[in-house]
Amino acid sequence: MKLTCVDGFSGAGGLSLGLARAGFDIVLSFDNDPLCIETQRLNPKYFGHQVLCSGIEEMLGGQLLRIARLQPGELDLLAGGPPCQGFSVQRIGPDEDNRNNLVLKYVQLVEEVRPKYFLMENVKGLAGKRGGEYLFRVMRRAEKCGYHVHFRVLDAQDFAVPQRRQRVMVVGERLINGGSPKFVFPKAMTPQGKRVTVRMAIGKLPVPPQSGAEHPDYTHHRRDRLSDLNKKRLAALKAGQGREHLPPELLAECHHVSPEIIGHRNVYGRMRWDDVAPTITARFDSFTRGLFGHPSQLRSISLREGAELQTFPSDMVFAGNKVDIARQIGNAVPVRLAEAIGKSIAACLDDRGERS
C-alpha cells in the first residue's frame, strides 16, 4: 500500500508533487489562496486528490481528521510550509509578524493528527534571529507529544535543482515505545561540480515572441515589457553581473550609494548559463528584483523558465495574471527537493514496517 500524506499550506503544489514522486499518496491538500487551489485543479494529471481552499484554522478541532476520514495516529506524513515572510532575513521591519504564529498552528495540527512523521519547510530565517524562538517552541511541543525532531538547512542545488535555495527542513518522527529515531536527512545528489545548471534547465526553450505574446508551444513562455532605460541596463551587463557593474549613468538614483552600505547587490542582473540560478523569489519575473535577467537575451526570464528552475513539470499550467503566477512559482518548494526528503521519510517508514 502507498504511504498516506496530507499537504497543508500547499501553495501551487511543489511539495505535493515531490512527495508523490517519492511514493506518497496525497489524500488531501489545502491552502487559503484561491489561485493556488485553482492551479492544482487545472492540473488533474498531477493533482488527482481532494484539494480544499481553506486556512489551517478551519482544519483544527478535528476537522482535518473528519475530512480525510482518518483516526489520530493513522496518517503517515503531515507536510506543510507555513508562510515564511515573517522570518525572512531580507524582510525590513520589526521581528513581530502575525504570520509567524502559523508555525504554532501547524504544530497544533500535528498534536491533533499525530502523524507518524511530520515535515515543515521554511526559510533559513526560521533557525535565525527572527524565527529561532518559534522553532524552539515547535520542537518543545512536538517532543512533549512523543516526537524526536530533526532539523537542518538544505540547499536545493544539492538535490538536482538548478537554483541556490537554502531552506530549513524540520522533520518530526513519532517514536515507538521509547525507541531510537531512524530518520536521516538525504545526502547531496548533485554536490559541487555536478550541479544542474541554468543551461540544462532552460537552454532548450525557444526565444519567446518579440511582441510579448505567449509562445504558441510553451505555456507561460512570454517576455516581460522593459522600459528603454532597463533595456540599456540589461544590454550593459554580461552574464552573472548585477547592478554594481552598471555604469554610473545607468544606475537608479538610490543605487548611487555602495551596495556595501545599502545592500541590494544582486538586482538588475543576469543569470549565468553554466551555473545554478539565484533563489527564485515571488518577483523573479523582473530583473530589477534580482539576477533574473536571461543569460544572453535582452529580457527577464519568463514564467515558464522560472517554473523550470523550480523543477515543476514542463506542461504544468498556473492560474492568475503574471504577478500571481510568479508569486506561486517563487513561493513553492522545488519539486526535486521535496522528492529527496520524501524518499528519506518513506525509507524510514518502510524500515519501521509502518505502511498504512
What is the set of active-site residues? Answer: 84
* Residue 179 CB partners (closer than 8 Å, separation 6+): none
Which strands make up the sheet holding 3-8, listed edge to edge? 50-53, 24-31, 3-8, 77-80, 117-123, 166-174, 147-155
Cβ-contact 344, 183 below 8 angstroms: yes
Q: Which amino acid is at 166?
A: Q
Cβ-contact 337, 343 below 8 angstroms: no
**DSSP code for 224:** P
Q: How far is 292 from 24, CA to CA, in rounded Å? A: 34
Place of cell 488533474: 44
Place of cell 496530507: 6
**DSSP code for 283:** T
**In angstroms, what is the C-alpha Rg of the chain?**
21
| N-term to C-term CA, the chain | 7
Distances (CA, A) of 32 to 142, 232, 323, 328: 25, 41, 18, 13
Cβ-contact 25, 46 below 8 angstroms: no
Q: How far is 37 from 318, CA to CA, in rounded Å? A: 10
User: DSSP letter string over 234-248?
Assistant: HHT--TT--GGGS-G
Q: How far is 313 from 20, CA to CA, in rounded Å? A: 13
Q: How far is 113 from 167, CA to CA, in rounded Å? A: 25
